[in-house]
Amino acid sequence: MPRSFTAAPRRETLLYRNQSLSYTLVFRSRRTISFAVRPDGSVHISAPAGTSAEWVAQQVLKKADWILKHQETFANRPAPI
């Protein structure tokens, strides 16, 4: 049975249009990168094991507008009663 690979999550921060964009990055045994914006506004990224953090950062910058749009959507939701 193949062993799964998961590295410890790491916090990363990029500057995008004079705005700080922070995310949690974890390398996993997978083929593609995945992006998730959680209701609290945090960003979680799972990337294939063996890819570089620099490559992931480039992908984050490509998706930055999408990430910011979803963070804004969550921030503008009314608080649950």
Average of per-residue pLDDT across 22-51: 97
Cβ-Cβ contacts under 8 Å for 66 (sequence gap 6 or more): 35
pLDDT in tens, 39-78: 999 999 999 999 999 999 999 999 999 999 999 999 998 8
**By CB neighbour count within 10 A (0-12 exposed, 13-18 middle, 19+ buried), where does 26 fall?**
middle
Q: What is the pTM of this model?
A: 0.85
Q: How far, in Å, CA of 71 to CA of 10, rounded?
A: 20
